[in-house]
Amino acid sequence: MNFNSFSEFLAMGNHGVYVWSSYAISFAILLLNVALPLMARQRYLKNEARRLRREAQQ
């Protein structure tokens, strides 16, 4: 561990804003990359389910 206290860890020697913001933005983008295909999949399955129901009714 390179830091003596948690507050020092957060401060990052006055560069905390830069380090934490870039990590936050990057992880947000990574999560977005996971979420988008998952949502697209859900949407596709929902559409297919609706289509199958419609065809079953006919």
Partner 1 sequence: MNWTWFHKLGSPKWFYEISGRWLPWLSVSAVLLIVVGAVMGLAYAPPDYQQGNSFRIIYIHVPAAFLAQSTYISLAIAGVVGLVWKMKIADVAVQQAAPIGAWMTVIALVTGAVWGKPTWGAWWVWDARLTAMLILLFLYFGIIALGHAISNRESSAKACAILAIVGVVNIPIIKYSVDWWNTLHQPATFTITEKPAMPMEMWLPLLIMTIGFYCFFAAVLLMRMRLEVLRRESRTRWAQAEVARQIGRSA
**Interacting residues toward partner 1 by CB under 8 A:** 1-3, 9, 12-16, 18-19, 21-23, 25-26, 29-30, 32-34, 37-38, 40-42, 44-45, 48-49, 52
Q: In whole angstroms, how close is the CB of 43 to partner 1 at the nearest point?
A: 10
Q: In whole angstroms, how close is the CB of 1 to partner 1 at the nearest point?
A: 6
Q: Distance between CA atoms of 27 and 34, rounded to whole angstroms?
A: 11
Q: Are the C-beta atoms of residues 44 and 50 closer than 8 Å to each other? A: no
Nearest residue (CB) to partner 1, 7 versus 52: 52
How far lies 11's CA from each of 3, 19, 30, in Å?
Answer: 10, 9, 24
